[in-house]
A and B are shown apart, each in its own frame.
Chain A
Amino acid sequence: MKKVAIIDYGAGNLHSVMYALERLGVDPIITDNKSVLSSADLVIFPGVGHAQAAMKALHAKELVDFIPTLKQPVLGICLGMQLMCRHTEEGDVDGLGIFDVDVLRFKGDFKVPHMGWNGLMEGRSILENIENDVYFVHSYYVPVVSETIAITDYNGTFSAALQKDNFYACQFHPEKSGVSGEQILKNFLKK
C-alpha cells in the first residue's frame, strides 16, 4: 500500500482529510517531520484558516522552502492550494511560489464566501471526467492560468484546481465532496 503523509501545521481540516483517506482504505501519517514527508509516496497539504497564520506556522516548522523541493505527487487542498501560489491578498503574505500566480479576494455584488456545491469545467489530469459538483468554501481565489486543470464559475471563472509537474492543488474540498470527492482522491492516489 502507498504511504501517504499529511503535512501537520495546524490546519483545521487535517482530520477530515485523514478520515476521507481512511474511507478509501488508506492509513495516512500526519507529520511535520521532513524525512518522513520526503519518504512518503504521496503528500497532502491541507488547509483551512487564515493565510497569514498558516504561513507563520509553516515558517516556524521550516517547511516553506522544503515543500517546493518535494519530488513525489503533492496535493494542496483549499488554503493549501492558495499557499502554494506566489502571493495572497489574504493578510498580504507571500506563499510557497510553486504556482506563479497571485491569490485575489472575491469582490463584487455577490455573496462571499463562495460556499457550497459548484461544478467543474474543462477538467483534466486528476479531474478528468469529474462531472458532479464539488464543495467549496473560500473568499479568495486563483485566476485561470496555464496550470489550471479545472475551472469553476462564481460571478466569473477561477481555478478550481491547478497542476504543475508533481504538484496538484484543488480549491474545493474533495474530502467533503461526497462521491465525486472520493473519485478525485482516488485519482490522486493513483499518481
Chain B
Amino acid sequence: MLKKRIIPCLDIKDGRTVKGINFVGLRDAGDPVALARMYSEIGADELVFLDITATHEKRKTLVALVKEVAQQVAIPFTVGGGVGSVEDAYYLLQSGADKVAINSAAVKNPSIIKELADKFGNQCVVLAVDAKLVDGTWKVFLNGGRVETDKELFSWVKQAEELGAGEILFTSMDHDGTKAGFAIEALKKMNELLTIPIIASGGAGSIAHFTEVFQQTDVSAALAASIFHFKEVDLPALKQALRAEQIQIRL
C-alpha cells in the first residue's frame, strides 16, 4: 500500500534555516543540510525547502545548498520560493532537487506549468498555492498573503492539473499558524476535484490534526514546519500514532 507522507518544511534565507529552529543536539540549527539529514534519519518521508532570499545572489546560494542536500540526504525533496522561470527550475533539478514548487510565477503566467511539465515531467512540478476564504470564496493570494489575486482556489488547482502539475501543495492561510487543525472541508473538496496528489499544509498543531486530515480526507501528504522544528510534535511519535490509527505510514 502507498503510504501517507509526512513532510517537514524548512524556510531558507541566504542559505541558512530561518524561523525558529530550536533543536537540542544539533551543533548548528541554522544549517539546513544538518537539519535535513536529521529529519531524514528520524523518518521524514520527504522535505520541502522554501527559499525566502530576496537578493541577487539567490540562485547561486540556493543551487549550492540544493547540491549539498542532494549529496547528503537519501530522501526526496522539493525546492520552492521564487522559482520564476524554466531556467530557474532547470538549475534546481540539475543540482539534485527532485521537484520544484512554483507559486507566483504560475499565477502570473499559467503556461509555465505546461512548459515545466513538458521539459522535466509532471512529477517534478508542484503547484504551491496559498489561499483563504474571502466572503465565502477561497481566493488565491501571493507574497505570503499580502497580495490578493482574482483567482478562485478550486478552479485554479484544476487548471494547474490540466496544464501538467504533478502535485498540489495547498496552504490554507486561514489555518496556517493557528495550530487548530488543517482545512479539512477545502481539502476534501479539492481531493474530489483532482486526480493528482495533494499535500495539506497549514494548521497542524497536534498529532490529532494529522490523524484527522488523513482519516477525513484522501490527501497524500501533510506538511508542517515549526511544530516539528520546536518538537511540539515529535515526528517518530507522530508516525507511530498514525500507524496505530490504521493509517498507512512508513516506519
- List the interface of chain A (C-beta within 8 A of B): 12-13, 15-16, 19-20, 22-23, 48-50, 110-119, 132-133, 135-139, 153-154, 173, 175-179, 181-182
Contact digits for B78-122, partner A, Cβ 8 Å, 1 yes 0 no: 000000000000000111101000000000000000000010111
Do the beta carbons of B3 and A112 come within 8 Å of each other? Answer: no
> 9 tightest A-B contacts by CB?
A117-B250, A117-B3, A137-B123, A133-B250, A19-B71, A176-B76, A118-B2, A49-B121, A178-B74
Q: How far is the CA of A132 from the CA of B2 in the complex (A)?
A: 12
Q: A12-B121, A15-B95, A117-B5 are in contact. Are A135 and B197 (CB under 8 A)?
A: no
Do the beta carbons of B197 and A113 come within 8 Å of each other? Answer: yes
Contact for A23 among B74, B76, B250, CB less than 8 A: B74
**A54: min CB distance to chain B, Å:** 10
Nearest-CB residue, chain A, relative to B74: A178
- List the interface of chain B (C-beta within 8 A of A): 1-5, 40, 45-46, 70-72, 74-76, 93-96, 98, 118, 120-124, 166-167, 195-197, 218, 220-221, 250
**B5: min CB distance to chain A, Å:** 5
**B249: min CB distance to chain A, Å:** 9
Do the beta carbons of A139 and B122 come within 8 Å of each other? Answer: yes
**At the interface, is chain B mostly helix, strand, loop or mixed?**
loop
Contact for A182 among B4, B45, B74, B120, CB less than 8 A: B74
**A150: min CB distance to chain B, Å:** 15
Contact for A116 among B120, B122, B220, CB less than 8 A: B220
Task: Name the A residues within 8 Å of B218 (CB-CB).
Answer: 111
Q: How far is the CA of A22 from the CA of B70 in the complex (A)?
A: 11
Q: How far is the CA of A36 from the CA of B121 in the complex (A)?
A: 29
21 residue pairs A–B, Cβ–Cβ below 8 Å: A12-B121, A16-B98, A19-B70, A23-B74, A49-B121, A50-B121, A110-B195, A111-B195, A113-B197, A114-B2, A115-B123, A115-B167, A116-B220, A117-B2, A117-B250, A139-B122, A139-B123, A154-B2, A177-B75, A178-B40, A178-B75
